[in-house]
Amino acid sequence: MAGTIANAVLALVAGVGIFLIACNMMSSNLESVSSKKLRALFAKTSNSKLVGVGIGAAATAAIQSSGATSVMVIGFVNAGIMSLTQAASIIFGANIGTTITGQITALGMFESAVSTGTIFATFAGIGAFVNAFAKKDTVKKVGGIMAGFGMLFVGLSMMSGSMESFAELDTVKNFLAKITNPILLVIIGAVITAIIQSSSVMTSVAITMVFTGLISLDQGIYLTMGSNIGSCVVAIIAGITSGTNAKRTALIHLTFNVFGVVVFMLVGMAIRLGSKGAVTFGTLFEDMFPGVPQTQLAMFHTIFNVATVIIVLPITKFFVKLVTKVIPDKKKVEDEKHRFKYLDEHFLQTPPIAVAQVRNEVLYMAEKAMANLNISLDTICSLDLSRAEQFKENEEYINFLNKGITKFNVKLAKLDLSNEDSKYTSTVFKTVTDFERVGDYAENIMEYAEKLQASESAFSPDAQEEIKKLQGVVGELYQKIMQIYSTQDTTAFREAYVLEETIDRLTEHMSNMHIERLAQGTCTADVGALYLALTSNVERIADHFTNVADGLLPLVKSSVRHSIKEVKHEIKDEFKSAEESAKVFEEHLDTNNETDLNA
């Protein structure tokens, strides 16, 4: 008997291990393949609780991990871009999405001439071959999904075999038969789930035990309810190391699941008392799905989670108020100066979402850099230094983002990314440096303004007018670069290159006009030196903006990339002619004409 128990235990451990690896394999590959859809899904987050439930359910069903969804949500809340109410509804939906694993497990246990489980298990071999011989990254990921799906049933088969061995031992059956207390079963399910950090595995083990007759359906039901509570451990761990709202989100997750279990246990108790023990959840589901114990437990799991969401959804605000009182705001207000707006370490748990958030943070950094450039150019014309403190804060924040995004991106680049995401992360390092340099040149211009004010000097009205016109063209270039960066609009490259060349000619023209003013005596040498330095700085800023666009070229198709490079050379050749330069000056220096760079 000792040998039988040892073999059964080893087989169970091996089966659980294979099942866990399969879940992780499916999850990581599904995330990579569905990265765009996953990003689009979370981008649709709104104040509608039903939409939130749908997003949570769909995301969890797609990536096969309610824990990953919960951690993502905590990341959004911690970054301040999702409210507690939105987070709560998504977490509710995640509980529904996670039931799909139990349904898959039950489906694999149907017996026929060739069992469903055996048929599904063959996907492990098919997926392995696809992954080994495929050349395209997407096809390899699909192979990984297939292999993971098949391995689920390989692990399930091993678990089922071990359970059958246990079921043949009267000692084991008698021991398990004694554990009938619902509260104790819920605690056991919660503890085991917390240890293995996967409610899917716990539910599948319970389904296997019920299917082999090792435990009763009622025992499996309470173990499964306990697994819902134990699944909160991932969110709790993530919340502990985060901000106040993130902790509240983790508490909402725990409170919601505990509430559902308590309600169903009270209902179960009422049913038993009302029928004097003749009716239980087990007998009800046996009547609804006769002869298929695996389906009975899987359907209870689904109905339990859906019913809990239906009960709780109308009182979501109550849960939010409750956790807000339990975890109040800190008396000391946190310093928001050096915090990310979109990034959070928890997003690294889901790389596709992390990539999208990096893009958002980079765009925010660009916004700050452009804001400082506008402040510096406005200041040097007006010599009003009232915004100097705001400028300084922006500059410090830009420097923080440069270092912070780079560090985050290093961690992200080490993860398993899709080919497209991997290419993008490699461009980020250079892009943030370009935007940081824009901030540095804006700082130079601000220093020139301070020198002018200190020496009680100023640029002539003509020089100020030229700066304003140059500022307008740089603003147009910035908008085109942001269009390219945020939407990958390849048609905007030509317009961006035209604007960059225009700025080169404008700064050259400004230098010539400055020399004329020197000769006429309307400008001093010291003031003129600062003016020339300003035009040089703005020209370099334009170069850094176009560098950002050029950095994205590896992300576009080779044929499109080649045509874009040809366009860039054509524009440079066009601007070499005096006629083209004259056209540019006419468009940008004539105040009576509107700028038209799209022609």
pLDDT in tens, 160-199: 777 777 666 677 677 777 888 999 999 999 998 888 777 8
| Residue 182 exposure: Cα atoms within 13 Å on the Cβ side | 18
pLDDT in tens, 444-497: 999 999 999 998 888 888 889 999 999 999 999 999 999 999 888 888 898 999
| Overall average pLDDT of the 581-599 stretch | 42
Q: Alpha-carbon distance 532 to 186, whole Å?
A: 76
The mean pLDDT value of the chain amounts to: 84
Confidence of residue 331 (pLDDT cuts 50, 70, 90): low
User: What 8-state DSSP symbol labels residue 289?
Assistant: S
Query: What is the distance, to the nearest Å, from the Cα of residue 558 to the centroid of all Cα atoms in its chain?
Result: 28
For 329-365, give one letter per residue: b (16+ CB within 10 A) or e: eeeeeeeeeebbbbbbbbbbbbbbbbbbbbbbbbebb
- Joined tokens for residue 228: 């819902």
Q: Where in the chain is the domain with CATH 1.20.58.220?
A: 355-589
Decide: residue 173, CB within 10 A, 0-12 exposed, 13-18 middle, 19+ buried.
Answer: middle
pLDDT at 99 over 70: yes
Predicted confidence at residue 555, as pLDDT, reads 82
Q: Alpha-carbon distance 228 to 97, whole Å?
A: 12
Homologous superfamily of the 355-589 domain (CATH)? Phosphate transport system protein phou homolog 2; domain 2 (1.20.58.220)
**Are 304 and 189 in contact, with CB atoms under 8 Å apart?**
no
Decide: residue 47, CB within 10 A, 0-12 exposed, 13-18 middle, 19+ buried.
Answer: exposed
Tell me the torsion sign for CA atoms 588, 592, 598, 599. Answer: negative
Confidence of residue 335 (pLDDT cuts 50, 70, 90): very low
pLDDT in tens, 379-431: 999 999 999 999 999 999 999 999 999 999 999 999 888 888 899 999 999 99
Q: Alpha-carbon distance 189 to 402, whole Å?
A: 46
Three-state SS across 323-354?
Answer: HHHHCCCCCCCCCCCCCCCCCCHHHHHCHHHH
Decide: residue 26, CB within 10 A, 0-12 exposed, 13-18 middle, 19+ buried.
Answer: buried
| Overall average pLDDT of the 223-234 stretch | 89
Q: Alpha-carbon distance 556 to 563, whole Å?
A: 11
pLDDT in tens, 359-376: 999 999 999 999 999 999
Three-state DSSP class for 175? helix
Predicted confidence at residue 527, as pLDDT, reads 82
CA distances from 527 to 66, 378, 380, 386, 498 (A): 64, 17, 11, 22, 30
pLDDT in tens, 311-325: 999 999 898 999 999
Phi-psi domain of 80 (left: phi exceeds 0; alpha: psi -120 through 50; beta: other): left
Predicted confidence at residue 296, as pLDDT, reads 94
Q: Alpha-carbon distance 267 to 282, whole Å?
A: 13
| Overall average pLDDT of the 91-117 stretch | 78
Q: What percent of the chain stands above pLDDT 90?
A: 36
- Residue 122's H or E segment, with its range, is helix 116-133
Confidence of residue 595 (pLDDT cuts 50, 70, 90): very low
Distance linking the first and last C-alpha atoms of the chain: 87
DSSP for 448-480 reads HHHHHHHTT----HHHHHHHHHHHHHHHHHHHH
DSSP for 485-539 reads HHH--TTHHHHHHHHHHHHHHHHHHHHHHHHHHHHHTSS-HHHHHHHHHHHHHHH
| Residue 118 exposure: Cα atoms within 13 Å on the Cβ side | 5
Predicted confidence at residue 39, as pLDDT, reads 67
Q: Alpha-carbon distance 279 to 270, whole Å?
A: 10
